[in-house]
Structure 1
Amino acid sequence: MMIISTTTIIAGAVVILLAVLGSLINPFLRSLRFQKTETAENQPPVSILITAHDNLAELERNLPMFLRQQYAADYQVIVVCQSTDGETQDFLKRTAAENPHLYYTYIPESSRYMSRKKLQITLGVKAAKHEWIILTEPNCRPSNDKWLQTMVRQCQDPNHLVLGYVALDEETKSVRRFDSIRKAYYVLRRAQQTYGYRSHMPNVAFRKSDFMKEQGYQGNLEYVRGEYDFLVNKYAHCGDTATELDCDAWLIRETPSSKSWHNAHLYLQASRKSLERAGSMRTLMFFDHLMPHLSLIATLAVAAYSILMKNWILTGCAGFSFLLLFIVRMLIANKAIKHFDDGIAMFKLPFFEYGIIWRNLATKLRYWRADKNDFTSHKL
């Protein structure tokens, strides 16, 4: 007759319980609301703001899609470029002559010691002739010609901020597409539940009156980048924050270079300490990382101990816990990301998830080694 020791029972129960907790404490299990909203009959006039810096090729590819939107009300596309970028200005001049929706301007060369991006946005907001403004990038394009009419469905009272989704194109590495979707689950759900916290996706609608009343980026001008993070974080308190997740409202972003991808993470390291409401988000993310890793470490430790002691029942418990953890997390993640991307292989998902802490560590090391003056405006 086999006698099962108390140690075996306790250790087996603990690793199985940790596997369950490690599976359920999961950002992909906190569902987003994909609400269905009818297109409003009285659509508001809208300004679309694009800032460009050496982006002629991207503008040539993507700007026409913004100018060909099916939209009943008036809309304008504002492009703010550099005064020294003659080729881009020539392209915009030719395009504006053919399309009345386009308006372009530029920032002076004397702005070289300030955050050009934030200056471009501020200048573009002042030039906008409509209350609602959608901010995006030249390397993004609408998924179709219904993007604008779908995105503005939420541009109505009591909303003052609308967050849209941006998908990385299919040529982007699957691990980066996964990372972007995972971040989207955090920021979009936070916006749906309470207030907007930040956004890494350049598809944000806001009110011009709020921007002018609160003096634009006043309060965080010292940072070179982080314009979308600060915009959402600062202006979420002006009124309700809405999300528009219909696939017709998506923007498609061209494959980012490795340099731009890593730089975006470095700039976030520099600027996130100044974001409001960061404590609860960072605590949530900490436990989302802690529990699956604690479960994995405990499972491996129990497996090693049980094999050493030839306790095959405990080995079986450890094996079951390992499979439970990986399979359940894989299935949950696969179901969640299918809403946004069905091109990521399911078997890769556990490896992408457990690789996050190592990718974060690499980012922290890059930031630690970097010159901190690169992240701030030298003039301020």
Structure 2
Amino acid sequence: MAIVLVVCFLSVGIQLVYILGIFSRTAFYTDPNERWSPEGVAFQPVGDGQPVDPPVSIIVCAWNELENLQTLLPLLDDQVYPTFEVLIMDDRSTDGTREFLEKAAERFEHVRFIRIDREHEHVTPKKYALTTGIRNAAYDIILLTDADCQPAGDYWLAGMVTQLDQPEKQIVLGFGPYKRRKKHGWINRLIRYETLFTAVQYFSMALAGWPYMGVGRNLMYRRKLFLDNKGFYSHIRVLGGDDDLFINEVATARNVAVSLHPATFTYSKPKETVAAWWHQKQRHLSVGKYYKTRNKIGLGMLSLSHVLSWLTGPVILGITTVQVLNTGFSELAGQTPGLLLLIASGLFMFRLLAFWGIVGRISYRLGHTVDWMAIPFLDLVMAVYYAVMGVVTLRPRNKNRRMTWK
């Protein structure tokens, strides 16, 4: 029991440091551009009538995404912004994407595309497509999203750009939640919550001065930053990581901004089965081993303390409850072992309530991603998820697997 108590105190203590010291930064963050709104956005001309708002290249990489592009391109072309382009990188699609893009380039004012006809041995397909797109982009500011995403509205681009109002800002981290799907029940709820909690971490760490990742569904950075750091060179053959590994490498406490306004979100179609989602998460988490050492330690402590809090806390809470019922609160508190049980139980409950309040507030800020009442249960589910994924990611993977997009 002494070991269980020690583990509980340590794990819950670490959790409270993250919840109160780091996650609360997102919960109570005051956006310097908080007065911006889609209804009130204005583009300011300078002397010669040209807008001061910097031109932007929106880049979308696509591999057999015809149906999604048919939905996405009108939404991107209708963005309310003075000067921008929509550059589609068609990577060897065989579903009619090329023919559609040829017509789309004539139909839509801002759309153009580049066709990639072959795979290159030295680099993964998406990284090659994205690198080619960035190098051939018309403008210096790059805004990324995926073909299966949809911006929240016509001011997505304008809202993201507002965060680059300071010269030192070179990266804007956006939020890319998944759509609600009632017919898919709990798996949809889990996917949305896992996405929310990931965002809680990368937004909060960035606001604390320790940025470590971004998500390519909604990410903006300056092309000069990409070129000056040789793009994806350090992880060019790693499957995935075109968003989080790049940001992990180049982000600093000064050059990162976050965008929490609901008008700047991009919404994606969630996976519909456990197997499809599980495969997706394995691919995403497999790149974590390439993070900077300090980030791996920090995230490891967060995940491990999360698991251990739920592993030890309910046990101690159950034992404490039984002893209170048998001996009474006063008698239990009068003994050192009993007092430690009461303190540990109280800390576990405080951690649960603090997490519920902080993450619930963030969920409300981020478009009410998940229902507030479901958060305690989903918090437990995430502890199980971390434990299982921790074991899975430690298993050796097939190094000869084919480099594919999905």
1:271 to 287, 297, 312: 287
Bigger mean CA deviation after superposition, 168-177 or 286-295: 286-295
Cα shift at 1:196: 2.4
Residue type of the alignment partner of 1:334: G
How many pairs are equivalent?
364
Matched, 1:150 2:159: yes
Q: Is the 8 A contact 2:91 2:116 kept in 1?
A: yes
Matched, 1:133 2:142: yes
Local SS of the residue matching 1:30: helix
Q: Give the alignment of 1:300-311 within 5 angstroms.
A: 300-304=318-322, 310-311=326-327
TM-score by length of 2: 0.78
Deviation sequence 1:154-213 (CA, Å, 0-9, x none): 224111111111121112711221111111111012122214201245211111122122
Deviation sequence 1:69-97 (CA, Å, 0-9, x none): 0112x101111112342500111111111
Cα shift at 1:326: 4.6
Match of 1:90 in 2: 99
Cα shift at 1:30: 1.9
Match of 1:35 in 2: 31
Q: Is the 8 A contact 2:77 2:86 kept in 1?
A: yes
Q: Is the 8 A contact 2:317 2:345 kept in 1?
A: no
Residue type of the alignment partner of 2:56: V
Local SS of the residue matching 1:51: strand
Cα shift at 1:373: 1.9
Q: Is the 8 A contact 1:84 1:109 kept in 2?
A: no
Higher relative contact order at CA 8 Å, sep ≥6: structure 1 or structure 2?
Answer: 1
Cα shift at 1:327: 4.7
Bigger mean CA deviation after superposition, 282-291 or 350-359: 282-291
Match of 2:313 in 1: 295
Match of 1:227 in 2: 242
Residue type of the alignment partner of 1:235: V
Residue type of the alignment partner of 1:206: Y
Match of 2:335 in 1: none
Residues 20 and 204 from structure 1, CA distance in 2 versus in 1: closer, same or farther, beyond 3 angstroms?
Answer: closer
TM-score by length of 1: 0.83
Bigger mean CA deviation after superposition, 103-112 or 316-325: 316-325
Q: Is the 8 A contact 1:114 1:224 kept in 2?
A: no
Match of 1:117 in 2: 126
Residues 201 and 373 from structure 1, CA distance in 2 versus in 1: closer, same or farther, beyond 3 angstroms?
Answer: same
1:362 to 373, 385, 388: 388
Q: Is the 8 A contact 1:26 1:288 kept in 2?
A: no
Q: Give the alignment of 1:317-328 within 5 angstroms.
A: 321=346, 326-328=352-354
Q: Give the alignment of 1:1-380 within 5 angstroms.
A: 24-25=16-17, 27=19, 29-32=23-26, 33-37=29-33, 38=36, 41=44, 42-72=52-82, 74-85=83-94, 87-111=96-120, 114-156=123-165, 157-171=167-181, 173-200=188-215, 202-237=217-252, 240-258=255-273, 259-276=275-292, 277-278=294-295, 279-291=297-309, 293-304=311-322, 310-313=326-329, 314=332, 321=346, 326-342=352-368, 344-367=370-393, 371-373=397-399
Q: Quote the Cα distance in structure 2 between the aligned partners of 1:223 and 1:19.
A: 33
Gaps of 5+ in 2: 45-51, 333-337
Q: Quote the Cα distance in structure 1 between the aligned partners of 2:253 and 2:128.
A: 22
Residue type of the alignment partner of 1:360: Y
Q: Quote the Cα distance in structure 1 between the aligned partners of 2:142 and 2:369.
A: 32
Residues 345 and 192 from structure 1, CA distance in 2 versus in 1: closer, same or farther, beyond 3 angstroms?
Answer: closer
TM-align CA RMSD? 3.4
Percent identity reads 19
Cα shift at 1:61: 1.5
Q: Is the 8 A contact 1:267 1:375 kept in 2?
A: no
Deviation sequence 1:96-120 (CA, Å, 0-9, x none): 1111311111222233774111111
Local SS of the residue matching 2:389: helix
